[in-house]
Amino acid sequence: MTSHKARLTWSLVVPVKVLARAKTRMSAAAGPHREALALAVAADTVSAALHCPTVAEVIVVTDDPLPAAELSALGARVVPDVPDRGLNPALVHGADLAARDRPGSGVGALSADLPALRPAELRRVLEAAALTPESFVPDALGVGTTLYTTRPGVPFHPAFGTGSRARHAAQGARELALDGIESVRQDVDTPDDLRAALALGTGPRTTAIAARLPALSPGAGTSPA
Protein backbone atom coordinates (compact mmCIF):
# COMPACT_ATOMS: atom_id res chain seq x y z
CA MET A 1 0.00 0.00 0.00
CA THR A 2 1.04 3.60 -0.55
CA SER A 3 2.39 5.21 2.59
CA HIS A 4 0.72 8.25 4.04
CA LYS A 5 2.07 11.59 2.88
CA ALA A 6 4.85 12.72 5.19
CA ARG A 7 3.68 15.10 7.89
CA LEU A 8 4.60 18.71 7.19
CA THR A 9 7.33 20.05 9.44
CA TRP A 10 7.64 23.66 10.52
CA SER A 11 10.21 26.38 11.05
CA LEU A 12 8.98 28.78 13.72
CA VAL A 13 10.27 32.35 13.95
CA VAL A 14 10.18 33.84 17.45
CA PRO A 15 10.90 37.57 17.90
CA VAL A 16 12.52 38.54 21.20
CA LYS A 17 12.79 42.18 22.17
CA VAL A 18 15.84 43.74 23.72
CA LEU A 19 15.15 43.07 27.41
CA ALA A 20 15.41 46.73 28.40
CA ARG A 21 12.27 47.37 26.31
CA ALA A 22 10.42 44.15 27.08
CA LYS A 23 7.32 43.62 29.24
CA THR A 24 6.90 47.31 30.05
CA ARG A 25 3.24 46.75 30.99
CA MET A 26 4.53 44.47 33.73
CA SER A 27 6.76 47.15 35.24
CA ALA A 28 4.65 47.84 38.33
CA ALA A 29 4.02 44.19 39.11
CA ALA A 30 7.48 42.85 38.28
CA GLY A 31 9.63 45.74 39.46
CA PRO A 32 13.33 44.80 39.33
CA HIS A 33 12.41 41.36 37.97
CA ARG A 34 10.84 42.67 34.75
CA GLU A 35 13.74 41.80 32.45
CA ALA A 36 14.23 38.42 34.12
CA LEU A 37 10.53 37.72 33.65
CA ALA A 38 10.69 38.63 29.97
CA LEU A 39 13.62 36.29 29.46
CA ALA A 40 11.95 33.48 31.43
CA VAL A 41 8.75 33.76 29.40
CA ALA A 42 10.68 33.67 26.12
CA ALA A 43 12.79 30.72 27.27
CA ASP A 44 9.76 28.68 28.32
CA THR A 45 8.06 29.48 25.01
CA VAL A 46 11.07 28.46 22.92
CA SER A 47 11.69 25.34 24.99
CA ALA A 48 8.10 24.16 24.51
CA ALA A 49 8.23 24.87 20.78
CA LEU A 50 11.45 22.90 20.42
CA HIS A 51 9.77 19.92 22.09
CA CYS A 52 6.92 19.89 19.56
CA PRO A 53 7.43 16.89 17.22
CA THR A 54 6.37 18.79 14.09
CA VAL A 55 8.77 21.69 14.70
CA ALA A 56 12.00 21.22 12.76
CA GLU A 57 13.61 24.47 13.85
CA VAL A 58 13.05 27.55 16.00
CA ILE A 59 14.64 30.74 14.70
CA VAL A 60 14.92 33.50 17.31
CA VAL A 61 15.32 37.03 15.98
CA THR A 62 16.92 39.26 18.60
CA ASP A 63 19.59 41.90 19.06
CA ASP A 64 20.01 41.26 22.79
CA PRO A 65 23.04 39.10 23.63
CA LEU A 66 21.55 37.73 26.87
CA PRO A 67 18.47 36.03 25.41
CA ALA A 68 20.54 35.17 22.33
CA ALA A 69 22.90 33.12 24.50
CA GLU A 70 20.21 31.48 26.62
CA LEU A 71 17.90 30.59 23.77
CA SER A 72 20.76 29.31 21.65
CA ALA A 73 21.72 27.03 24.53
CA LEU A 74 18.21 25.60 24.45
CA GLY A 75 18.67 24.64 20.81
CA ALA A 76 17.22 27.60 18.94
CA ARG A 77 18.94 29.20 15.97
CA VAL A 78 19.54 32.85 16.85
CA VAL A 79 19.88 35.56 14.22
CA PRO A 80 20.16 39.35 14.54
CA ASP A 81 17.37 41.69 13.52
CA VAL A 82 19.08 42.81 10.33
CA PRO A 83 16.17 44.90 8.98
CA ASP A 84 15.78 46.74 12.33
CA ARG A 85 12.46 48.17 11.13
CA GLY A 86 10.06 46.71 13.66
CA LEU A 87 8.31 43.44 14.43
CA ASN A 88 6.88 42.35 11.08
CA PRO A 89 10.05 43.02 9.04
CA ALA A 90 12.00 41.05 11.68
CA LEU A 91 9.60 38.13 11.25
CA VAL A 92 9.90 38.27 7.46
CA HIS A 93 13.69 38.25 7.82
CA GLY A 94 13.54 35.09 9.93
CA ALA A 95 11.01 33.51 7.58
CA ASP A 96 13.22 34.20 4.56
CA LEU A 97 16.08 32.37 6.25
CA ALA A 98 13.79 29.48 7.14
CA ALA A 99 12.42 29.17 3.60
CA ARG A 100 15.92 29.28 2.14
CA ASP A 101 17.30 26.57 4.41
CA ARG A 102 14.18 24.37 4.73
CA PRO A 103 12.14 24.99 1.57
CA GLY A 104 9.96 21.96 2.22
CA SER A 105 8.81 23.14 5.64
CA GLY A 106 6.01 25.48 6.57
CA VAL A 107 6.92 28.74 8.27
CA GLY A 108 5.27 30.20 11.35
CA ALA A 109 5.68 33.35 13.41
CA LEU A 110 5.18 32.51 17.09
CA SER A 111 4.79 34.98 19.92
CA ALA A 112 7.59 34.87 22.48
CA ASP A 113 5.02 35.45 25.23
CA LEU A 114 3.50 31.97 25.68
CA PRO A 115 5.01 30.62 28.93
CA ALA A 116 2.28 27.98 29.36
CA LEU A 117 2.75 26.61 25.82
CA ARG A 118 2.15 22.85 25.55
CA PRO A 119 4.00 20.99 22.77
CA ALA A 120 0.98 18.74 22.20
CA GLU A 121 -1.36 21.71 21.73
CA LEU A 122 1.09 23.40 19.38
CA ARG A 123 1.28 20.16 17.41
CA ARG A 124 -2.51 20.10 16.98
CA VAL A 125 -2.46 23.67 15.74
CA LEU A 126 0.36 23.05 13.27
CA GLU A 127 -1.34 19.92 11.92
CA ALA A 128 -4.44 22.02 11.27
CA ALA A 129 -2.30 24.77 9.73
CA ALA A 130 -0.83 22.22 7.32
CA LEU A 131 -4.26 21.92 5.69
CA THR A 132 -4.54 25.57 4.67
CA PRO A 133 -2.18 27.94 2.79
CA GLU A 134 -2.21 30.72 5.38
CA SER A 135 -3.60 30.64 8.91
CA PHE A 136 -3.42 32.19 12.36
CA VAL A 137 -4.37 31.65 16.00
CA PRO A 138 -6.03 34.54 17.88
CA ASP A 139 -4.87 35.43 21.36
CA ALA A 140 -6.95 34.73 24.46
CA LEU A 141 -8.59 38.17 24.29
CA GLY A 142 -9.62 37.62 20.69
CA VAL A 143 -7.93 40.80 19.48
CA GLY A 144 -4.33 39.89 18.72
CA THR A 145 -2.49 36.93 17.22
CA THR A 146 -0.12 34.43 18.82
CA LEU A 147 0.75 32.33 15.76
CA TYR A 148 0.72 33.05 12.02
CA THR A 149 1.61 30.32 9.51
CA THR A 150 2.09 29.71 5.81
CA ARG A 151 2.62 26.48 3.92
CA PRO A 152 5.77 26.04 1.77
CA GLY A 153 5.79 28.39 -1.19
CA VAL A 154 3.02 30.65 0.15
CA PRO A 155 3.96 34.35 0.58
CA PHE A 156 4.64 35.16 4.23
CA HIS A 157 2.83 38.36 5.26
CA PRO A 158 2.62 38.70 9.05
CA ALA A 159 0.44 41.54 10.31
CA PHE A 160 1.23 41.59 14.02
CA GLY A 161 0.45 44.62 16.13
CA THR A 162 -2.72 46.17 17.53
CA GLY A 163 -5.80 44.46 16.11
CA SER A 164 -3.78 41.79 14.30
CA ARG A 165 -6.58 39.22 14.45
CA ALA A 166 -8.74 41.38 12.18
CA ARG A 167 -5.82 42.22 9.89
CA HIS A 168 -4.80 38.60 9.42
CA ALA A 169 -8.39 37.63 8.69
CA ALA A 170 -8.78 40.52 6.25
CA GLN A 171 -5.81 39.39 4.19
CA GLY A 172 -7.34 35.95 3.78
CA ALA A 173 -5.62 33.90 6.48
CA ARG A 174 -7.80 31.21 8.01
CA GLU A 175 -8.49 31.50 11.74
CA LEU A 176 -7.78 28.22 13.51
CA ALA A 177 -10.68 28.00 15.96
CA LEU A 178 -9.73 24.79 17.73
CA ASP A 179 -10.87 23.69 21.17
CA GLY A 180 -8.30 22.83 23.77
CA ILE A 181 -5.46 25.07 22.61
CA GLU A 182 -5.54 27.56 25.48
CA SER A 183 -1.78 27.38 25.97
CA VAL A 184 -1.21 28.50 22.37
CA ARG A 185 -3.51 31.49 22.88
CA GLN A 186 -2.51 32.72 26.34
CA ASP A 187 0.12 35.35 25.76
CA VAL A 188 1.39 37.49 28.62
CA ASP A 189 1.42 41.28 28.54
CA THR A 190 -0.22 42.20 31.85
CA PRO A 191 -0.36 40.83 35.42
CA ASP A 192 -3.81 39.36 34.70
CA ASP A 193 -2.38 37.60 31.64
CA LEU A 194 0.38 36.14 33.80
CA ARG A 195 -2.13 34.92 36.38
CA ALA A 196 -4.09 33.21 33.60
CA ALA A 197 -0.94 31.58 32.26
CA LEU A 198 0.05 30.42 35.75
CA ALA A 199 -3.38 28.86 36.14
CA LEU A 200 -2.79 26.88 32.93
CA GLY A 201 0.65 25.83 34.14
CA THR A 202 3.73 27.76 33.05
CA GLY A 203 7.19 26.47 32.31
CA PRO A 204 9.77 26.26 35.11
CA ARG A 205 11.54 29.55 34.44
CA THR A 206 8.37 31.63 34.48
CA THR A 207 7.06 29.78 37.52
CA ALA A 208 10.25 30.53 39.43
CA ILE A 209 10.24 34.23 38.58
CA ALA A 210 6.51 34.62 39.24
CA ALA A 211 7.01 33.26 42.76
CA ARG A 212 9.25 36.26 43.43
CA LEU A 213 6.66 38.86 42.42
CA PRO A 214 4.77 40.16 45.47
CA ALA A 215 2.08 41.70 43.27
CA LEU A 216 0.89 38.23 42.33
CA SER A 217 -1.28 36.21 44.65
CA PRO A 218 0.87 33.62 46.41
CA GLY A 219 -1.97 31.17 45.91
CA ALA A 220 -1.94 31.43 42.13
CA GLY A 221 -1.68 27.98 40.56
CA THR A 222 1.26 27.00 38.41
CA SER A 223 0.27 23.49 37.51
CA PRO A 224 -2.55 22.02 35.46
CA ALA A 225 -5.48 20.72 37.48
First to last CA, the chain: 43
Rounded Cα distance between 171 and 198, Å, is 33
Q: Helical H runs in the chain? A: 27-30, 34-50, 65-74, 87-101, 119-129, 164-170, 182-185, 191-200, 204-210
144 marked as binding residue: no
Name the nearest CA neighbour of 12 among 98, 96, 89. 98
Between the alpha carbon of residue 22 and those of residues 31, 100, 221, the distances in Å are: 13, 30, 24
Cβ neighbours of residue 65 under 8 Å, at least 6 residues apart?
A: none
145 marked as binding residue: yes
183 marked as binding residue: no
Rounded Cα distance between 32 and 58, Å, is 29
Rounded Cα distance between 20 and 154, Å, is 35
Rounded Cα distance between 183 and 200, Å, is 7
Binding-site entries for phosphoenolpyruvate: 145, 161, 164
Would you list which residues are annotated within the binding site?
145, 161, 164
